[in-house]
Amino acid sequence: MAFCSFSKDYDDNSYVAVENKFITKYLPEADGFAVKVYLYGLYLCKNAASDFSLASMAEVLKADEKDIADAFALWEDYDLVAIVSKQPFCVQYLPVRSASGRPKRVRYEQYADFNKELQRKLGRVGKFLSAADYKKYMRFLEENAMQPQALLLIAEYCISKKGEAISAAYIFNKAKKLMGVGAVTYEQVERELSSFSASEGHLLDVFAALGGSNTTERVPSEAEFSLYRKWTETLKFDADGIVATAKCLKRGTMNALDMTLEDLYEHGVKDAAAITKFLTEREVMTNLAFRLGRKLGVKVSNPVPFVEEYVEKWLGRGFDDSALLDIALFCMKNGRGSFEDMDGVVARLAESGATEKESVKAFLKETNEDLKLFARIQEFCGTLRKNATNLALVKAWREWGFGEEMILEAAKRSAASASPLPYMNKILGEWKEAGIFSEKGLTDEAKKVRSGGAGMSSTGFGGAKNAYTNPSVDAANAKSERERYYALLREKAQTRADKYLALANANARFKELGIELSKMELALAKAEMFTPDELPALSEKKQAYLRERKSILEKLNIDEADLVPRFVCDKCSDTGFLKNGTACGCYKA
C-alpha cells in the first residue's frame, strides 16, 4: 500500500489541488507544521513512488517522524484523512467537502497571563516566542490535563538546565514524563522537581566519586536519574552508601556502579562503612585471583566467579596470600594447573591443619619429595597413576620408617608384577614386621636363609627373583596376572562392540529407534500387567521398529552381533568363572 493515496471518491486530477473549503475552514486554525504535512502528503498522493515512507517524509521535511504522525492524527480528527495502518504508517486522504469534523478552536484569551509569564522566563535567556510557538504551548495545555502554572514551573526548571539552548520540545518532553508519574498540579510538579534537584546534587557527588573531567558541569541524563531512583527506591541505598560505592570503583561507569550496587544488595550490604569494607576486601581478593591465575597458568578474564568459588573460601580457612601463591606454583609444576585442582590441595592442607606459610612450605616440600620418589618408582614399574591413593602409599611407607633406597629395592622386586604397588606394599609390610629397614638388614637375613637359619621368605636381595620366595606372594601375583588377562580380553571385546555401536548411532534414525525400543519394553511390561488387550498392537509396533533397525544396519554393513561384545570364551564371557561360581575350563587351562 502507498504511503499516501486518494480514496476512490477523490477526483483523479493530474495536478495537486487544494479544496477551497480546506483553505477557508481548516487552514486558519491549524498549526503551520500541520498544514505543511497535509499539503506535502497531498502532493505525495499523486507524485511519490509507492515505497515512500514516514521516514522519507521526515527526511524531506526535516522533522521528527512522531511529529508528522501527530499532525496526521490531527487531520484524522477533522475527517480529512484516515490513518489506515501504523506499521507501516499509511494515510488515505478523504475529500474535504464530505468532512464532518470541526476544528478545535483554542480560546487564546484565557492563556494571556500564561503567555506573558512564559515570555518573561524565556526572555531571560534571550528567547522570544512567535505566534506559532504560543499556539504550541496553548494546544499542549488544551490537549493535556496539566495546570498552566505547573507547565510554567517546568519551563523555568528546563530553562535553568538548558539556558539559551532551550526548546519547546524539551519542555514538553519533561512535562510528559512528569504527567507519566501523575504530576499535573503545581504542588505535584514542585514536589517532583524538588526530588529531581536533590537527586541531581547527589548524582553530581556520584560523578565526582567516579572521577572524570568536568563533573561539576555535567548535567545528569534522564537515564541516570532513572538509575538513581532505582538505587534509592528499589534497592533502598542511601546517598552516602551510593557515593561510598562509587569511590571504591574509582574510574568506573554508571553501569559498573549499577552492577556493583546490585551485587551489594544481594549480599545484604547497605551501610556506607560496611560497603567500603566489603569492596576493599573484594578488591584484595580480586587482585589475588589474578595473581593465582598467573601462577597456575590460567587466564582470568572475569575474576568474580574465582573469588566467590575459591579465593574467599581459602582465605576464610586461614590461608594467607603468600601461602596460596606457593600452593598455586606447586600445582602448576605438578600438572594440576587449575583452580579446581588447587582446591583439592588446599582442602588436604586444611584437614591436616597446615594453613600457616611455614607449615604449608613444609607440607609442599614433603609432597614434592614423595612425587620425586614416585617418579623413581615408575622407572622400575612402568606407568603408574599419580593419584592421591598411590601417593598416600608412598607417604605411608615413609611413615613406616623406610628410606628411599629400601622403597626402590621393593620397586625393583615388584617390577614384573601385574600390580606393582600392592606387591610393593606386601613386601615392605613383611620387611616392617621383620624389623628390616636397611639394605644391611636384607643382606643379614639372606645369609640366615642360605645357612638354613630362620628368616623371612620374600624375594632375594639384588632385584631378581630366587629360590627364597614366599608362596602366598607368588600365588597372589599369579592371580593378579590371570585377572589382568581376562580384563584385557573383556576390554577388547567391549571396545570392538562400542566402535560398531557408535557407527550405528551416527545414524539419527537408528539412535531414535533405540530410544523408542527402550520405551517399548516399559510399555509392554505395563500392558502385560494392566491392559493385556493392548499387547498385540504394541508387539506389532515393536516388531516394526526391529525390522526398520535391521534395515538400517544392513545399509551400514553392520551385523546385529557386532553391537554386543564377542568374547573369546562364550561360557564365562571372559570372566574365568561360570554363573554357578565354579572355575571355567579356560581358567584352568
Q: What mean pLDDT do residues 322-348 have?
A: 84
Confidence label for 509 from pLDDT (cuts 50, 70 and 90): very high
% of the chain residues with pLDDT over 70? 86
* Extents of the domains making up the chain: 4-98, 108-184, 192-270, 282-355, 368-469, 484-563
The pLDDT of residue 13 is: 52
pLDDT at 152: 92
Strands (E), 385-442: none
Comparing 1 with 242, the larger pLDDT belongs to 242
Task: Please state, in angstroms and rounded to a whole number, the distance separating the CA atoms of residues 60 and 298.
Answer: 57
Torsion of CA 26, 30, 32, 38, to 10 degrees: -50
DSSP state for residue 81 in the 8-state scheme: E
Structure confidence at residue 106 (pLDDT): 55
Q: What are phi and psi of 29, to 5 degrees?
A: -90, -15
Whether 473 has a pLDDT exceeding 60, the answer reads: no
d(CA 86, CA 66): 11
199, 229 contact by CB (below 8 A): yes
Joined together, the cell numbers standing for residue 438 give 636397611
**According to the per-residue pLDDT averaged within each range, which of 37-51, 116-130, 248-262 is highest?**
116-130
Interatomic CA distance for residues 369 and 589, integer angstroms: 45
| Secondary element (H or E) of residue 316 | helix 312-316
Q: Evaluate if residue 271 carries a pLDDT over 60.
A: yes
Indicate if the pLDDT at residue 544 is higher than 90.
yes
Predicted confidence at residue 466, as pLDDT, reads 39
- For 429-464, the pLDDT digits (tens) are 888 888 888 887 777 665 565 555 545 444 444 443
How many other β-carbons are positioned within 10 Å of the β-carbon of residue 74?
Answer: 22
Partner residues linked to 90 by β-bridges: 85
Residue 4 β-bridge partners: 91
Nearest to 387 by CA among 347, 335, 343: 335
**pLDDT score of 218 more than 70:** no
* Integer CA distances (angstroms), 209 to 216, 241, 509, in order: 11, 12, 63
Task: Tell me what pLDDT residue 251 has.
Answer: 65
Phi, psi of 346 (to 5 degrees): -60, -40
Q: Check: pTM over 0.75? Answer yes or no.
A: no
pLDDT tens profile 549-589: 999 999 989 988 888 888 888 888 887 777 766 778 887 66
Q: Please report the pLDDT score of residue 36 as a whole number.
A: 92
Give strand pairing partners of 6: 93
Query: DSSP labels for 267-298?
Result: HT--SHHHHHHHHHHHHHHHHHHHHHHHHHT-
Backbone dihedral angles phi then psi of residue 37, each to the nearest 5 degrees = -65, -45
pLDDT per position as a tens digit, 68-116: 998 898 888 778 888 888 888 899 988 887 766 655 555 666 788 888 8
State the average pLDDT for the chain. 81
Q: What is the pLDDT of residues 18-50, one digit of tens each?
A: 888 888 877 877 778 889 999 999 888 877 656
List pLDDT tens digits, range 154-198. 899 888 888 888 888 889 988 998 888 888 899 998 888 887 777
pLDDT exceeds 60 at position 230: yes
